[in-house]
Every structure is written in C-alpha cells, then in structure tokens.
C-alpha cells in the first residue's frame, strides 16, 4: 500500500526543469491539476523526484530521531499506565518512519542509503528533536504541542500529489491525533496537580516554546527549498 524498494529505472536523472520534455511535463502538470495522484511507475520531472525524496526522507528521519527524547523516559515514567502509553507512542513514531522510508524508496533511493546519509549527517531532520526531555513534563509538552505542529504540516502534505506519501500520511495523521490527546491529558494532569507538578510543566513549556515556534521553519522567502 505504501510502497517498497523501487526497481524502476529513471532516464531523466539530473535534468533541469527547463530541459524536460515539454509534452511529458504538460501531461504531468495536467494530471496534478485534475486532482489525480502521481504513482511510482508514472513519469515525473527530475526536480519533482529530487525534492520529494528529500522531503519524505527528512520526514522519516524526524520520526526516528523524534522518538529518542521521549524514549529516554520510558523506564522512568510515573506509573505503569503512563509507561504503557509512552511505549505505545514511541512505537508509533518508529512505525511512522518505516512507512515513510517505504514511500521514499518508491522514488528510487534505497533505505540503506537513507540511513547512511542520516548517520553521516548528509540528510537532515527537524532540529527541534535535538533538545533533551529534561523532566517528565517535557514529554507531555512534546506530545501535546510538537505533535500538534506536526499534524498541521502533515495534514497539508496529505493533500499533495504523490500517492505513496499521501497514503502514508493519512495513517500517520490518524495516529498523531491520539498522541496529541495523550499529551493534552498528561499536561492537564500536571497542571492541576501539586505545586511541584505545576511548576514542572510550566518550566517545560518555557523550555520548549521557542523550539516549537521554530518547528515550522523559516518564511518561504528565506527557505532555500521554496
């Protein structure tokens, strides 16, 4: 459903948009304008493939790296119920990465190469996940507001033109809505708890507020990929 390793050979590698076949390009744009999805076996411009690969790969990496700050709190979660909930959330995030790597593979880049690029720093991920979860309250803020921001981005991308990515995002957005609810519930629990709990969640919010605002990236005019 979401795609696997592509065995399609592409004949337009490195082609600039202005050098693409005008007839094929017009047919491609007409298909998108008609609301149809582009599938792996369809012809697509090189630049479309390149940018889409970069975007999906970055998204997949972000799901993997994003599970790490919260994952450090699984063994320290306050109670068995909270531990189970956090384990399920972290498992979901890693599963999202697998869906996205599968979607990216349909564009011709092997998963092993994507992982290697992540490890050696060639590929990027959302830098919001470089910040540590200092206290249990940090995991609540991450689940509530970082995941809420992710939903905003992912719902927009789920209206896109590439079929495998759109189908993966439909499932991911459904599961992210549960993560947001989990985070909201945990924040409310802390915010209505003891003075120590209230202070802890307030400090976590203050730590994460600026990274959350940066989560959406720079304005289009400042982005090199716009």
Is the pLDDT score of 8 beyond 60? no
CB 41 within 8 A of CB 8: yes
Model's pTM, two decimal places?
0.87
Say if 195 falls within a structural domain: yes
Q: Does some domain include residue 49?
A: no
pLDDT of residue 20: 83
Range of the domain at 113: 58-216
Q: 69-97 b/e with 16+ CB inside 10 Å = b?
A: bbbebeeebeeeebeebbeebbebbeebb
Look at residue 6 in the predicted model and tell me its pLDDT. Answer: 45
**47 domain residue, yes or no:** no
Alpha-carbon span 64 to 104, nearest angstrom: 15
User: What is the token pair recorded at 120?
Assistant: 């050696």
CA atoms within 13 A on the CB side of 42: 19
Residue 99 lies in a domain: yes
Which tens digit of pLDDT belongs to each residue from 166-176?
Answer: 999 999 999 99
Classify residue 2: in a domain, yes or no: no
Question: Each residue of 111-151: pLDDT tens digit?
Answer: 999 999 999 999 999 999 999 999 999 999 999 999 999 99
Q: Is residue 145 part of a domain?
A: yes
DSSP symbols for 8-48: ---S-TT--GGGS-HHHHHHHHHHHHTTPPB-TTS---HHH
| Domain at 177, CATH number | 1.20.1260.10
Q: Give the C-alpha separation, 157 to 76, whole Å.
A: 35
Domain membership flag for residue 36: no
Total number of domains in the chain: 1
Q: What is the mean pLDDT of the chain?
A: 91
Report CA torsion sign: 111, 167, 91, 58.
Answer: positive
């Amino acid at each position: 459903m979401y795609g696997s390793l592509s065995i399609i050979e592409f004949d337009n590698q490195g082609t600039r948009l202005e050098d693409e076949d005008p007839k094929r390009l017009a047919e491609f744009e007409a298909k998108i304008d008609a609301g149809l999805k582009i599938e792996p076996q369809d012809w697509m411009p090189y630049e479309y493939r390149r940018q889409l690969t970069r975007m999906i790969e970055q998204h997949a990496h972000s799901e993997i790296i994003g599970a790490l700050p919260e994952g450090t709190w699984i063994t320290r979660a306050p109670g068995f119920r909270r531990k189970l909930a956090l384990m399920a959330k972290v498992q979901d995030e890693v599963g999202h990465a697998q869906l996205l790597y599968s979607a990216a593979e349909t564009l011709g880049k092997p998963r092993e190469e994507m992982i290697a690029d992540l490890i050696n720093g060639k590929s990027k991920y959302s830098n919001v996940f470089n910040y540590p979860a200092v206290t249990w309250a940090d995991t609540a803020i991450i689940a509530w507001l970082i995941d809420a921001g992710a939903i905003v981005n992912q719902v927009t991308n789920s209206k896109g033109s590439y079929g495998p990515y759109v189908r993966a995002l439909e499932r991911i957005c459904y599961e992210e809505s549960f993560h947001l609810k989990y985070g909201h519930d945990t924040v409310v629990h802390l915010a209505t708890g003891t003075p120590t709990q209230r202070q802890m969640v307030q400090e976590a919010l203050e730590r994460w507020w600026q990274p959350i605002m940066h989560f959406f990236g720079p304005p289009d005019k400042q982005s090199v990929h716009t």
